[in-house]
Structure 1
Amino acid sequence: MFTKKSLVGLDIGSREIKAVEMVESAGQMQLSALATMPAVDRVDLPQALKEFFSKSGIRTKNVAISLSGQSVVVRYISMPRMTEEELRSSLKYEAEKHIPFELDEVALDCARLERVGVSEPGEENEEMQVLLVAARKEVLDELLGVIRVAGLVPVAVDVDGFALGSAFELSASSRGDGRELDGVTALIDVGGSKTSINIIEDGLSAFSREIYLAGKDFTEAISRRMGVSSEEGDRIKCESTSEDFEVMECVSPLLGDLSAEIHASIDYFENHHERGVDSVRISGGSVSLPGLGDSFEQAFGREVSEWNPLEGIEEVVGSAGVRIPTGNSSSLAVAVGLASRVLDY
């Protein structure tokens, strides 16, 4: 009999908290529970999480969480090919050259990126690509403290953009479409306080960036233009459709700015990697905003499509806690990606 493991991907967003529980057995993953709740003040978060988990049908206390923002630095670097032990021993030396923080202030991690186009064994001066990540310990320790006070057990810490990539990989494999990971795909997640970009090249992250222009900025634009409160502006934004031309006029300048920033990132990748982006896939709580998809398509000059991170993932039989949202399921991408870390422990 196979042993089952379970893990909750816990995405603590600025507007909403999402929890997705995955169960793994013999390499197969299934959705066991899913729940969302409005975001709360940081001081109220531990108690809110306790109540959230007790009411949601989630069974495990093991969680994977993520960091984002200016407290996290990501670098893609080239290094001489070496063993994993050698890589770990040289980590601090490399970090000193690439990380703009004092090393005693950050937690460091790295991962080898084996990608097509990197030197093969036997070539002279062979190199390997390495993903280097640094997170400020102060921010990390605060988040871990909140999780533990809530009675939960943090077993993995990721970065939002990488969780986005993990969800895309899981979705492709669950649908039996491994070819979707071939080529270059730009994943764009438009959330409440930021927009995350992760460009996937042949199944591996090749570029990532955060842009601090997202849902709350659209809400502020609507509130200011229409002369209503932030709460009313948020309601109008969430309930708007493609026929709401007044809303589109409110957010059009910001959509232009966001599209230009994302386009600049795509151009940077294409110029430095000498490969074009084949497809653009969007997700996040703000992708249903009127005019967003059209603005992206006009700016990028290519088709843009929304994707569902739950597509192809089976539910556990009798999982009463699963409540598939009828609205924007693409907002669950980060939480799904975090939950997929159940395969790692």
Structure 2
Amino acid sequence: MKAKSVHAIEISAGSVKIAAFRIQKKKLPVLTFLFTEAYDSKPKMEEALCRGAAAVAEKNAVYATSVWAATMMTRKVVMKLDDSEDIHQTLNLEAEKFVPFPINECLVDGYVIRELENGNQADVMFIASKKDLITERCELLKRSGIRLGYMDVHPVALANLYAQIEPQHAAEPFAIVHLGDVPGSVKGEENFASVCYEGKPAVIRDLGGKLSEPEVGDAQWRYVVTQVANAVSFFENSMKLKVASFRVTGESKTCEEFIKRYKEHAGSDFSRWSALQSLQYQDQSLSEKAVAQETAVTVLTSILARRLFE
């Protein structure tokens, strides 16, 4: 039996957020509950998690979450497809060629971006993370009485959500940039870009941090726009496809500055996009609270809800 609700938890630098959604068939989930609490130390973070879990009305709730860190490795590779082999075994072998730390110290996952014309090869994205990052998060949630059912990587969740909400634009390749505080970030502010094919990132680039600080200079901005432009160029050259749309999401002032600078650098027009304006809410107060918090947990949950329960 499929669940009728799903819960998501976001732990970012300085705050804990828990959201609950009611699942609707072939529609976006409806936000029914949102808990937010700030913290300034690890013990207080755990206390906030416990209070948030206690505030959830549903007993035995299962949670989804997302993690992201600059130390995660992402790479698009061409792999042979063999029906007799598990793709994850092949991913581990591929990861050994690129991951800069022992393979037994990391977790590797991935997905097929597209099958190639010759029929026995595919473009594949693999994602590698140090085990301790994932283990620490899982143990933290367990200590807080939170039962974790699913963990994703934020660039993948965000790209898939855009494809769900904007299918008319996601039918063609698109670039999506996130600037600001990211759920699951180990540093607080994380900035990344994804260039996507059929709703799945084919290129992911970490863009560094601290873009929201007043003293950020031209050199840092040049690095960011160059990284995004290079990601777009790499996608178009390797996939033999043109990127049709450009979206940026995150903190308002930072996004506007990026749009201006990218236009000057590469000539392409990025436009603002916010999933918060497209989601459904049980009542107006929840809508106002979610938007005021600029919480990405709603973004995360809506895509995870579909993956888990549809």
TM over 0.5, shorter chain: yes
- 1:228 corresponds in structure 2 to none
**Rounded Cα–Cα distance in structure 1 between residues aligned with 2:229 and 2:143:** 41
How far residue 338 of structure 1 moved from its aligned partner, in angstroms, is 4.3
Does structure 1 residue 268 correspond to structure 2 residue 266? Answer: no
Say if 1:184 and 1:278, in contact at 8 Å, map to a contact too: yes
Aligned to 1:166, which of 152, 160, 163? 160
SS of the residue corresponding to residue 280 of structure 2 reads coil
**Rounded Cα–Cα distance in structure 2 between residues aligned with 1:163 and 1:259:** 22
**Rounded Cα–Cα distance in structure 2 between residues aligned with 1:85 and 1:202:** 25
Q: Which amino acid aligns with 1:119?
A: E
Q: Which amino acid aligns with 1:306?
A: R
How far residue 301 of structure 1 moved from its aligned partner, in angstroms, is 0.7
Percent of residue pairs bearing the same amino acid type = 17
How far residue 320 of structure 1 moved from its aligned partner, in angstroms, is 7.0
Mapping of residues 105-184 of structure 1, within 5 Å: 105-114=105-114, 118-119=116-117, 121=119, 126-172=120-166, 178-184=167-173
- 1:299 corresponds in structure 2 to 265
SS of the residue corresponding to residue 277 of structure 1 reads coil
How far residue 324 of structure 1 moved from its aligned partner, in angstroms, is 4.5
Does structure 1 residue 67 correspond to structure 2 residue 56? Answer: no
Say if 1:11 and 1:18, in contact at 8 Å, map to a contact too: yes
Say if 2:67 and 2:154, in contact at 8 Å, map to a contact too: yes
How far residue 306 of structure 1 moved from its aligned partner, in angstroms, is 0.8
- 2:299 corresponds in structure 1 to 336
Aligned to 1:279, which of 228, 245, 249? 245
- 2:280 corresponds in structure 1 to 314
- 1:81 corresponds in structure 2 to 81
Say if 2:28 and 2:302, in contact at 8 Å, map to a contact too: no
Q: Which amino acid aligns with 2:178?
A: D
How far residue 139 of structure 1 moved from its aligned partner, in angstroms, is 1.3
CA 1:326–1:310: 2 relative to 1, 3 Å: closer
**Rounded Cα–Cα distance in structure 2 between residues aligned with 1:93 and 1:291:** 41
Q: Which amino acid aligns with 1:189?
A: H
SS of the residue corresponding to residue 113 of structure 1 reads strand
Say if 2:24 and 2:30, in contact at 8 Å, map to a contact too: no
- 2:203 corresponds in structure 1 to 207
- 1:186 corresponds in structure 2 to 175
Q: Structure 1 stretch 54-63 or stretch 188-197: which is displaced more? A: 54-63
Does structure 1 residue 7 correspond to structure 2 residue 6? Answer: yes
Say if 1:190 and 1:214, in contact at 8 Å, map to a contact too: no
Question: Deviating runs (4+, > 6 A) in structure 1?
Answer: 56-60
Q: Which amino acid aligns with 2:249?
A: S
Give the length in aligned residue pairs. 300
CA 1:295–1:327: 2 relative to 1, 3 Å: farther
SS of the residue corresponding to residue 151 of structure 1 reads coil
- 1:197 corresponds in structure 2 to 193
How far residue 14 of structure 1 moved from its aligned partner, in angstroms, is 2.5
Q: Structure 1 stretch 255-264 or stretch 71-80: which is displaced more? A: 255-264
Mapping of residues 233-248 of structure 1, within 5 Å: none
**Rounded Cα–Cα distance in structure 2 between residues aligned with 1:170 and 1:35:** 25
- For structure 2, the residue ranges without an aligned partner over 5 or more in a row are 182-188
SS of the residue corresponding to residue 280 of structure 1 reads strand
How far residue 57 of structure 1 moved from its aligned partner, in angstroms, is 7.2
Residues 254-279 of structure 1: CA deviation (Å, up to 9, x unaligned): 43442233223323333333333222
Say if 1:188 and 1:197, in contact at 8 Å, map to a contact too: yes
TM-score w.r.t. structure 2 length? 0.82
- For structure 1, the residue ranges without an aligned partner over 5 or more in a row are 173-177, 222-249
**Rounded Cα–Cα distance in structure 2 between residues aligned with 1:253 and 1:93:** 37
**Rounded Cα–Cα distance in structure 1 between residues aligned with 2:252 and 2:37:** 16
- 1:42 corresponds in structure 2 to 42
**Rounded Cα–Cα distance in structure 2 between residues aligned with 1:37 and 1:69:** 22
**Rounded Cα–Cα distance in structure 2 between residues aligned with 1:35 and 1:50:** 11
How far residue 39 of structure 1 moved from its aligned partner, in angstroms, is 5.2
TM-score w.r.t. structure 1 length? 0.75
Q: Which amino acid aligns with 1:11?
A: E
**Rounded Cα–Cα distance in structure 1 between residues aligned with 2:179 and 2:77:** 27
**Rounded Cα–Cα distance in structure 2 between residues aligned with 1:65 and 1:84:** 32
CA 1:167–1:262: 2 relative to 1, 3 Å: same
